[in-house]
A and B are shown apart, each in its own frame.
Chain A
Amino acid sequence: ETGVTQSPTHLIKTRGQQVTLRCSSQSGHNTVSWYQQALGQGPQFIFQYYREEENGRGNFPPRFSGLQFPNYSSELNVNALELDDSALYLCASSFRGRNNYGYTFGSGTRLTVV
């Protein structure tokens, strides 16, 4: 059973640029959630994707967007990067329909905006 894999592991971008982060969900999982974890803080919910549609969104502006693909993998896109977007971005997959509570997190992508 493969876990959740995220790429890249580290990324440095300039303010105003755009970034795409990728996530492959755990085998058998059909739901992907994205979280932002600032240094020294708990993860904050960005949004969740189920059946290729956004299924819940946290308090993040529209410049944070995502996609889920038929194979349940997902992308997180952030436009017009700001310095405060520097954080660890975590992807978590789960299976909706049975045991709705099981999250498996990836190791994250560390984004630094300069």
Chain B
Amino acid sequence: QQQVKQSPQSLIVQKGGISIINCAYENTAFDYFPWYQQFPGKGPALLIAIRPDVSEKKEGRFTISFNKSAKQFSLHIMDSQPGDSATYFCAASFHYTGNQFYFGTGTSLTVIP
């Protein structure tokens, strides 16, 4: 059972455009929602994260929007750059289990110059 569902599977965006990746979860006990960026041959790197008591978090060009009632959260990449081309994973965790993360299936983002 996939605890976190992610879409789209792949995304192509023009340079300067907005990239949007969506995730949905079922378990309302999740209390931490990070996004990871992974380049080929590398491990995932934490990009930005949010707790469910906040509806939006922004760090530079990256914004997480969180909709608790809909059990959905999304990553927005503003002014997308070719260097943003990577695979993005959303994830969720329960604090009480001490850090097990449930990852989405990933979105391959390509930013065209």
Binding site for B on A (CB under 8 A): 4, 31, 33, 35, 40-45, 48, 50, 55-56, 58, 90, 92, 94, 96, 100-108
Q: Is there an interface contact between A56 and B106, defined as CB atoms closer than 8 Å?
A: no
Given contacts A101-B93, A107-B42, contact A41 B99 (CB under 8 A): no
- Quick check: is B46 within 8 A (CB to CB) of the other chain? yes
Q: Is there an interface contact between A42 and B41, defined as CB atoms closer than 8 Å?
A: no
Q: Is there an interface contact between B103 and A42, defined as CB atoms closer than 8 Å?
A: yes
The docked-state distance in angstroms from the alpha carbon of A105 to that of B43 is 6
Identify B102's interface contact among A33, A45, A104, CB under 8 A: A45
Contact with A along B58-89 (1 / 0, CB 8 A): 00000000000000000000000000000001
B residues 37-54 near A (Cβ < 8 Å) are 41-46, 49
Q: Which residues of A contact B102 (CB under 8 A)?
A: 45
Q: Is there an interface contact between B98 and A101, defined as CB atoms closer than 8 Å?
A: no
Q: Is there an interface contact between A43 and B46, defined as CB atoms closer than 8 Å?
A: no
Q: Is there an interface contact between B99 and A96, defined as CB atoms closer than 8 Å?
A: yes
Q: Which residues of A contact B93 (CB under 8 A)?
A: 101
- Quick check: is B100 within 8 A (CB to CB) of the other chain? yes
- Quick check: is B7 within 8 A (CB to CB) of the other chain? no
The docked-state distance in angstroms from the alpha carbon of A61 to that of B103 is 20
Q: Is there an interface contact between A94 and B99, defined as CB atoms closer than 8 Å?
A: yes
Q: Is there an interface contact between B98 and A50, defined as CB atoms closer than 8 Å?
A: yes
Interface centre among B6, B101, B104, by most A CB within 10 Å?
B101
Identify A105's interface contact among B32, B41, B44, B100, CB under 8 A: B44
Q: Is there an interface contact between B105 and A55, defined as CB atoms closer than 8 Å?
A: no
Given contacts A42-B106, A43-B44, A43-B89, contact A103 B101 (CB under 8 A): yes
- Quick check: is B28 within 8 A (CB to CB) of the other chain? no
